[in-house]
Amino acid sequence: MLNSLRFQNIALFENLEIDFDKGFTVFTGQTGSGKSIFIDTLNALLANKKTSLDNRLVAKGSAFSSIEGVFSVSQKTKDWLIDNEFDVNEELIVTREWRLKEKKYKSRFRINGVLVNRDQISELRSLLFDFTLQGDNYILNNSFYQLSLLDSLGLKKIQESITKVKEDWKIWNESNLRLEHVRNKISDSKKEFEEMQYIYQDLDKLQLEDPDEQTKLEIDQNRLSNLLRLKEGVKSLLIRLNESLNEYPSILDHTTFCINELKALSKIDSSLEPIFDNFYRITNNINELIYQINDYEKTLDIDPSFLNDLQVRLSTLKFYQKKYHRNIADLINYKNELINCLSSQDSSNNINQLSSYEYKKRIIRDKSNKELSILRKTIALQLEDKLIMTLKNLGIPNVRFKVVFEECEPTVNGIDKVNFVFSANPGLPLAPLSETASGGEKSRVLLAIKAIFSTFDQPNLLIFDEIDTGVSGSVSSYVANLLSDLSKDRQVFCVTHQPLIAAFADNHFSLKKAVIADKTKSIVINLKEIADRQRELALLAGGEIVEASAYAASLLEHKAA
């Protein structure tokens, strides 16, 4: 609850401190006395959005202004403070400050003296205040808010269903995102896949296997280009090594003679045997060399067209190296990388698995949504009955009210979109509240909704600004009783012009306009004495002074009784 409110350099109120008690508190006063400005100060203290109108609360000419509210700390507020790492005390102090800088007012908020941002203030607002202001059609227009109100009536059973819907939707959504990601990836990479496939097929035609193929081909090309010279040279070598040239013996002839001679000499002198052995090895090596040259000579018997084929192959390899900016070894690796990529691109099995998983989770999601929708429709019937009964007591005897359901695309909140439709007169069709209800009817519908839902809501301060507009007589009495009942569980503020409603209040503040030192001020008076309250109620009642005073006295007596 709000324990106290302190103003410093605030328009109309200047410097003021007001203490509040629990229960039902009314604010009365003549038009222009400052009641609306007072409500604006509460609205500005915990502003949920930025508006230039807030600056009009600053007293003209002041360099610094502030509004400070001191609140009792409920459990939900305590939890919020702990979650946001604020110190928790018995009281919570919220401050809104304005400072004049460079001819402009800069505003900031504090919680327990610590600077905070507007998002934090907006979150705290819902824990501390619940406004129902004149012309406030938010509840009447907003389908999502209407749905949240409906859900708050279901308590534990519907909350369990809502939790399940959120969990099932989250699981389905994650599976759907994975599936869409793979589908998009395949779709986006189709062109890349086709390009990789073309390159792979292009490289595959080369039949690349040996990274040294080009080097070997260039050696062969050089050999084949000099084939005649190689043949002539080999022939000359063989003649000198193995065959006689004219009358001159070959090297093999000389070595054979030397071997035979050394063999004979070593029999005479055994010390020549090592020389014989070495020379014998040399002779064997020459024989081996002759065999190798003979073998090489055979390789020179090549079809001349082979040189052309070899040169074509070399040209092709050089072309592909230039085309893909890679050498032979890198082209082989590139080809292997491509085949791996092409294999992984086949995601048909993966997509089938993901599709199957997504379908199963969608079925579970839809089942949870339908179960929640059925629960909501059952609760909606209960709401319709309660609201119709309350509105009849509020002076709309022919009221019809219905919660219309429309199925929408599944979200984390289910498949239901709701609209509160209303008709106050026979023969008129049901229509959205914001379109068909008059100003007074809207006020009464808002009051009825607040009355029904307040017991299920958090215990924040209920603030009504002339919620009794357009009601009188017995309806005023019902409104007064309704507001009084609401105040049993939570603090209720109400700005009213109705003496009957004011008489039911536990606390009564009167706002009066006065001119002091050429300045217009709003004076807030806490009417604690019965006589003071009676005079204020008589002023509200109007008419003859004696009759109005008697009426006011009877109202207070009725309240006391």
Structure tokens at 434: 């914001």
> Are 130 and 237 within one domain?
no
Give the DSSP letter of residue 460.
P
Give the DSSP letter of residue 245.
B
Asked if 500 contacts 555 with a C-beta cutoff of 8 angstroms, the reply is yes
Higher pLDDT, 548 or 406: 406
In a domain, 561, yes or no: no
Asked if 402 contacts 384 with a C-beta cutoff of 8 angstroms, the reply is yes
Q: What is the pLDDT of residues 145-157, one digit of tens each?
A: 888 888 888 777 8
In a domain, 426, yes or no: no
> Are 18 and 127 within one domain?
yes
Measured CA distances, 545 to 502, 541, 542, 549 (Å): 18, 9, 7, 6
Asked if 341 contacts 196 with a C-beta cutoff of 8 angstroms, the reply is yes
pLDDT at residue 349 tops 80:
no
In a domain, 145, yes or no: no
- On the 0-12 / 13-18 / 19+ scale of CB atoms within 10 A, 529 is exposed
Measured CA distances, 372 to 148, 155, 385, 405 (Å): 13, 13, 20, 12
Query: What type of residue is 15?
Result: N
Average pLDDT over residues 2-14: 93
> Are 339 and 201 within one domain?
yes
Structure tokens at 95: 């401050």
Give the DSSP letter of residue 425.
S
Boundary-marking domain end, from 328, 344, 360: 344
Boundary-marking domain end, from 288, 313, 344: 344
Phi, psi of 412 (to 5 degrees): -65, -20
In a domain, 542, yes or no: no
> Are 120 and 227 within one domain?
no
Asked if 130 contacts 447 with a C-beta cutoff of 8 angstroms, the reply is no
Long-range pairs for 209-216: beta carbons < 8 A, 24 or more residues apart: 209/332, 210/328, 211/328, 211/329, 211/332, 212/328, 213/317, 213/328, 214/314, 214/317, 214/318, 214/328
Q: What is the pLDDT of residues 63-108, one digit of tens each?
A: 999 999 999 998 889 999 999 999 888 899 999 999 998 888 899 9
Contacts of 130 (CB under 8 A, 6+ apart): 450, 457, 460, 461, 462, 463
pLDDT at position 375 is 94
Residue 463 pairs in a beta bridge with 131, 493
Residue for token pair 């604010």:
27
Laid out side by side, the sheet with 64-72 consists of 14-19, 2-10, 64-72, 91-101, 104-111, 114-116
pLDDT at position 2 is 95
> Are 268 and 339 within one domain?
yes
Q: Residue 194's pLDDT band (boundaries 50, 70, 90)?
A: confident
In a domain, 307, yes or no: yes
Phi, psi of 509 (to 5 degrees): -115, 135
In a domain, 159, yes or no: no
Rg of the chain over Cα atoms, rounded to whole angstroms, equals 50
Average pLDDT over residues 48-70: 85
* Helix ranges, 455-544 (H): 473-486, 499-503, 530-541
> Are 111 and 233 within one domain?
no
pLDDT at position 489 is 82
In a domain, 325, yes or no: yes
Q: Number of structural domains, the chain?
A: 2
Structure tokens at 14: 């200047």
> Are 327 and 208 within one domain?
yes
> Are 230 and 333 within one domain?
yes
How many helices and strands in the chain, by DSSP H and E? 20, 15
> Are 324 and 245 within one domain?
yes
Asked if 401 contacts 388 with a C-beta cutoff of 8 angstroms, the reply is yes
Query: What type of residue is 555?
Result: L
pLDDT at residue 408 tops 80:
yes
Q: Residue 189's pLDDT band (boundaries 50, 70, 90)?
A: low
3-state secondary structure of 514: strand
> Are 127 and 210 within one domain?
no
Summary mean pLDDT of the chain: 86
* Helix ranges, 20-154 (H): 35-45, 75-83, 118-128, 138-141, 143-152
> Are 201 and 66 within one domain?
no
What CATH number is given to the structural domain containing 79?
Answer: 3.40.50.300
In a domain, 390, yes or no: no
pLDDT at position 134 is 60
Contacts of 52 (CB under 8 A, 6+ apart): none
pLDDT at residue 218 tops 70:
yes
Average pLDDT over residues 190-210: 84
Asked if 240 contacts 250 with a C-beta cutoff of 8 angstroms, the reply is yes
Q: What is the pLDDT of residues 531-552, one digit of tens each?
A: 999 999 998 888 667 877 888 8
pTM (predicted TM-score): 0.65
Residue 4 pairs in a beta bridge with 19, 70
pLDDT at position 348 is 55
pLDDT at residue 346 tops 60:
no
Average pLDDT over residues 40-55: 81
Q: What is the pLDDT of residues 465-518, one digit of tens each?
A: 887 776 777 788 888 888 888 888 889 999 998 899 999 999 999 999 988 877
* Segments forming the whole domain that contains residue 505: 1-134+466-528
pLDDT at position 245 is 66
The number of residues making up the chain comes to 561
> Are 112 and 204 within one domain?
no
Asked if 149 contacts 454 with a C-beta cutoff of 8 angstroms, the reply is no
Residue 69 pairs in a beta bridge with 5, 94
Query: What type of residue is 77?
Result: T
